[in-house]
């Protein structure tokens, strides 16, 4: 079964600094990879996804992620953090069946 | 369009009570899912339905039952609620494309006392 590892439950970043959230996955077949964002008391919103093709994926709100098969990674980045980026971020993996497996999430705090 | 609609948004139950969480989607998706979210645990799959008339267990099915009433609706039932079922429950549906994205409802916050 597929699984996802996200290290560091809480991530603090200064406003204007690089946001980097790490995601490593395991899957027995080529994976489909997702990043979701959850704002307080809301549901999950899709930031971006990788299915096939270009390994650098651009999403909403200036985020992007790169699929690296050799490293089994799908790290999320944003060049310059905004206060509005404070939220919880989840990496998820699917191997094409009906199970989407989530990591435990990163709570991002943006420091003014 | 509403997307995925969950009711109720909040619920408090006493231990041993039963209740049904409702979920409906208007996107004509075949696959629907129930997840629970607990602090530090991410989202864990309870049950899913790949199509109308089929349901399968996920990672944490104990204490729950589901019904895929029709293509639009997928309900989650707690027959005898326990404090360990205090959680936020999310329903989701998936587009039928390869690697299709999942659309989530806004969640039901359930407290069992």
Q: What is the pLDDT of residues A53-108, one digit of tens each?
A: 889 999 999 999 999 999 999 999 999 999 999 999 999 998 776 678 899 999 99
For the segment B33-64, what is each residue's pLDDT rounded down to a tens digit? 999 999 888 899 999 999 998 999 999 999 99
For testing the chain B interface, which of A41, A44, A95, A106 should be mutated: the one with the most B CBs within 10 Å?
A: A44
The angle formed by the CA atoms of residues B52, B57 and B58, to the nearest 5 degrees, is 115
Residues of B in Cβ contact (< 8 Å) with A36: 104
- CB contact, 8 Å: A101 with chain B? yes
Cβ distance B104 to A44 less than 8 Å, yes or no, reads yes
| DSSP-assigned beta bridge partners for residue A76 | A21, A65
Terminal Cα-to-Cα distance of chain A (whole angstroms)? 41
d(CA B80, CA B58): 19
Predicted confidence at residue A31, as pLDDT, reads 86
Predicted confidence at residue A91, as pLDDT, reads 96
Q: Tokens representing A6? A: 């996200």
């Amino acid at each position: 079964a597929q699984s996802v590892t996200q290290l560091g439950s809480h991530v603090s970043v200064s406003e204007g600094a690089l946001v980097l959230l790490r995601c490593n996955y395991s899957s027995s077949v080529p994976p489909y990879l997702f990043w979701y964002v959850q704002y307080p008391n809301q549901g999950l919103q899709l930031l971006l996804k990788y299915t096939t093709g270009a390994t650098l994926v651009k999403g909403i709100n200036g985020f992007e992620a790169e699929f690296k098969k050799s490293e089994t990674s799908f790290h999320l980045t944003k060049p310059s953090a905004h206060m509005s980026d404070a939220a919880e971020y989840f990496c998820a993996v699917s191997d094409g069946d009906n199970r989407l497996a989530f990591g435990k999430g990163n709570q991002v705090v943006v420091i003014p | 369009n509403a997307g995925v609609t969950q009711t109720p948004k909040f619920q408090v139950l006493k231990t041993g009570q039963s209740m049904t969480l409702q979920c409906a989607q208007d996107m004509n998706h075949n696959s629907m899912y129930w997840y629970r979210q607990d602090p530090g645990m991410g989202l864990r799959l309870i049950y899913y339905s790949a199509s109308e008339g089929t349901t399968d267990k996920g990672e944490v099915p104990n204490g729950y039952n589901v019904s895929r009433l029709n293509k639009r609706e997928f309900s989650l039932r707690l027959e005898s609620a326990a404090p360990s079922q205090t959680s936020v429950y999310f329903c989701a549906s998936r587009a039928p494309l390869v690697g299709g994205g999942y659309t989530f409802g806004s969640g039901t916050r359930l407290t069992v006392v």
